[in-house]
Amino acid sequence: MWKDLRREFKRPRERRPFGSSWLPGRLSVLAGIAGLVLVAMRQYPETFTMPEFRPSMRDRF
């Protein structure tokens, strides 16, 4: 596995497949974490919202 990865990084940039750099990987991890946080905020509004907004959040959805 490590040899394949090393070989992939040694290839010229124009011969690498689209999305094989570190940027798409980091962005996907960031999007995953953001999604989990949004789900947690939606499931537990009493923890993640101000008391004034809690009734409106429950009635809205």
Q: How far apart are CA 54 and CA 61, in angstroms?
A: 12
How many helices (H) and strands (E) would you count in the chain? 4, 0
pLDDT at 47: 83
pLDDT tens digits along 3-60: 876 777 677 777 776 666 667 778 889 999 999 999 988 888 778 777 777 676 665 5
Q: Where are the domains of the chain?
A: 23-61
Q: How far apart are CA 11 and CA 27, in angstroms?
A: 23
Q: Quote the pTM value.
A: 0.53
